[in-house]
Structure 1
Amino acid sequence: MEAVKKTKTGTVSNIIPDWFPGVILLVIVAFIAQQLGKNFPLIGGTVIAIFLGVFIRNGLSVKPVYEVGIVFTQKKLLKFAIILLGTSLSIAEVLAIGGQAITIIFIVVVAGILLTIWFGKLLKVDKDLGLLIGIGTAICGATAITATKSLLDSKGVQVAYAISTIFLFNLIATLLYPVLGHAFDMDQTVFGIWAGTAVHDTSSVLAVGYMYGDEAGEVATTVKLVRTLFLIPLMLIIGIWVAKSKQDSGDSSTNLSKSIFKAFPWFVIGFIVMSVLNSFGVFPDEIKEWIQSFSKFLILMVMVGVGLQVEWKKMIAQGLKPVIVGLLASVAVAVISFVFIYILVV
């Protein structure tokens, strides 16, 4: 009998994955946010989803059993949602939007990183911390920070500071960008390029874009994916710099190749494949409508997760200097992107 009980227990634990409770929590909260968003359209489901997440994390308590599912949604389901969004564009549109924005992306990435390093020096913030904030601000938020931390041998506290700072300004961007877009009377394409080149994390870019409109969301998604690809040459540059500074090019190159392979945004290829299939009319309109609705709900789940990652106590504990550097970097990236959009696009 004991053997049978053990087998049954093992079977049950194997059937229910660790991420299941957290994903179910996000599904429930996202559904509530979606319904409230319909009743309060001026606020919208995305903003409500973020604030529900922040309230649950800071006002209630999140048991450890949910954490795996929250991380799974942020890392895996977000990428799946982006792949599905490829059905909303043809490959010709993807190439046109990406080509239109690539010069602006290059300027934003280079200027954003250099200015953030300079701001860090002025405020006497740790060099690696300043670089991590700059990379996160200029390219793709927590993903870029996580990808480059191993190359820099960054301390855990530095990574936590940088990611917390990025999350804070993701939250601000989600609330502020649509308001500014309407204030400057931006059309859907211009706003989408601005969101895609200036907002930090991929999840927040999608949220900001689709809050402004479906066309803005599609443009922002495409621009952001092109921007994410800039992480690869940046990692090469950092890897070479670290190798020279350590005078140990052999080991550094091995670590670099592994880091690049691990960090490569494979979901971008999935997005392109879906766009190609859409170009050939593979998906009927009814199926495309369902896929896009499902992907937007996944994004809503991700935004609940973004809110759940905002811990005010930890942010206050890290001090003001990294936050000020993040603020200056965010403003600089937003302004540079805005100016060059109106020079090169409008």
Structure 2
Amino acid sequence: MDRTTLARLLWPLAAAATLLPWTGSATALVGGALLALLLGNPYQALFKRWTSRLLAWSVIGLGAGMDLRVVLRAGFHGLGYTAVTILLTLALGIWLARRMGVAGNTGILVSAGTAICGGSAIAAVAPVLSAEEHETSVALGTVFLLNAAALVVFPAVGHLLHMDQAPFGFWSALAIHDTSSVVGAALSYGPKALEIAVTLKLARALWIVPVALGIGLVRKEGGKAKGKRPWFILGFLVAAALATYVPVLHQPGVMVARVARQGLVLTLFLIGSGLTAETLRKVGLRPFLHGLLLWILVGGATLGAVLAGLLHP
């Protein structure tokens, strides 16, 4: 059996295995990445097309298992933290990019991805900046690698510091780039961590458009953000509202949320499948070091603030 045939057989089997209840988020992500690097992915275009869709529907499904009153209370409570941390992260990231000699728009894109929600923010800001394709690819690759690391590092740090689920979920939402990795890290930590992390991360995602427009004004481009709109946030709120205010839907909502959590594990496997040798080559050392340093500074500062009680859910 040649390598291509083996890959065509193994990928569907591995994807199906992620739907088993004992398959964890970190296992799925690492498994997808290892398969991609060792065998290549003959289904890469298909997986890429379905990743964003599956993530969106899984997040909506999570809403079916949550109380809307708790979701809104947490969202409004974190509004001030969100605005301050986004602005500080953007300013720090752009300053670091200049100091480290990261050329072009790459530093701004990585900073926006770190400040708000990873790849979605990069996709929205890139057209406003008239970013070149290679600049966007480098920024996305950098964020992808750090997201993969976060799925392993954050739960390990949380357990090492004996963090409760609530502060861990809060920290994850503030310091991990993409919604998928926030959900993955919190999912492995516990249900309370997941509820808080998803709520706060979706609240941060609402800032994509105003931040993109603001960057456009500062750069005097006057363009509009053309990135994908995070429509699944509305779906999440509608699902939570139905489960909260229609009693007969409460129990089915719990079952939907359980299926959605496993759907997120499959999503992380699909994300891992996108890690190729070409992605690693595109990133380059200097942009990656910029993204890594910014991530460590933001993650360390928010962790210290959460542990000190200055930021709390």
- Give the TM-score, by structure 2 length: 0.90
Match of 1:209 in 2: 186
Residues 84-108 of structure 1: per-residue CA shift (max 9 Å, x gap): 1111212210112112322222222
1:101 aligns with 2:78: yes
Q: State whether residues 30 and 300 of structure 1, in contact with CA within 8 Å, keep that contact through their aligned partners in structure 2.
A: no
Of residues 21, 26, 35, the one that matches 1:56 is: 35
2:40 alignment partner, SS class? coil
Of residues 290, 298, 302, the one that matches 2:263 is: 298
Q: State whether residues 88 and 218 of structure 1, in contact with CA within 8 Å, keep that contact through their aligned partners in structure 2.
A: no
Which piece of structure 1 moves more, 307-316 or 324-333?
307-316
Match of 1:165 in 2: 142
Which amino acid in 1 is paired with 2:310?
A: I
Which piece of structure 1 moves more, 317-326 or 143-152?
317-326
Match of 1:241 in 2: 218
**1:296 offset after TM fit, Å?**
1.2
**1:284 offset after TM fit, Å?**
4.0
Larger radius of gyration: 1
Structure with more helix by fraction? 1
Q: State whether residues 91 and 279 of structure 1, in contact with CA within 8 Å, keep that contact through their aligned partners in structure 2.
A: yes
**1:344 offset after TM fit, Å?**
3.4
Of residues 56, 61, 65, the one that matches 1:88 is: 65
Q: State whether residues 113 and 138 of structure 1, in contact with CA within 8 Å, keep that contact through their aligned partners in structure 2.
A: yes
1:328 alignment partner, SS class? helix
Q: For residues 206 and 10 of structure 2, what CA distance do their matches in structure 1 show?
A: 32
Match of 1:343 in 2: 310
Q: Name stretches of at least 5 consecutive residues in structure 2 with no aligned partner.
A: 1-8
2:78 alignment partner, SS class? helix
**1:314 offset after TM fit, Å?**
3.2
1:278 aligns with 2:215: no
Of residues 2, 11, 16, the one that matches 1:31 is: 16
**1:111 offset after TM fit, Å?**
1.5
Match of 1:230 in 2: 207
Q: State whether residues 106 and 139 of structure 2, in contact with CA within 8 Å, keep that contact through their aligned partners in structure 1.
A: yes
Match of 1:308 in 2: 273
Which amino acid in 1 is paired with 2:14?
A: V
- Give the TM-score, by structure 1 length: 0.82
1:331 aligns with 2:296: yes
Which amino acid in 1 is paired with 2:54?
A: L
> How many pairs were matched up?
303
**1:303 offset after TM fit, Å?**
0.4
Q: State whether residues 34 and 45 of structure 1, in contact with CA within 8 Å, keep that contact through their aligned partners in structure 2.
A: no
Q: For residues 10 and 258 of structure 2, what CA distance do their matches in structure 1 show?
A: 19
Residues 135-165 of structure 1: per-residue CA shift (max 9 Å, x gap): 1111111111111111111111111110010
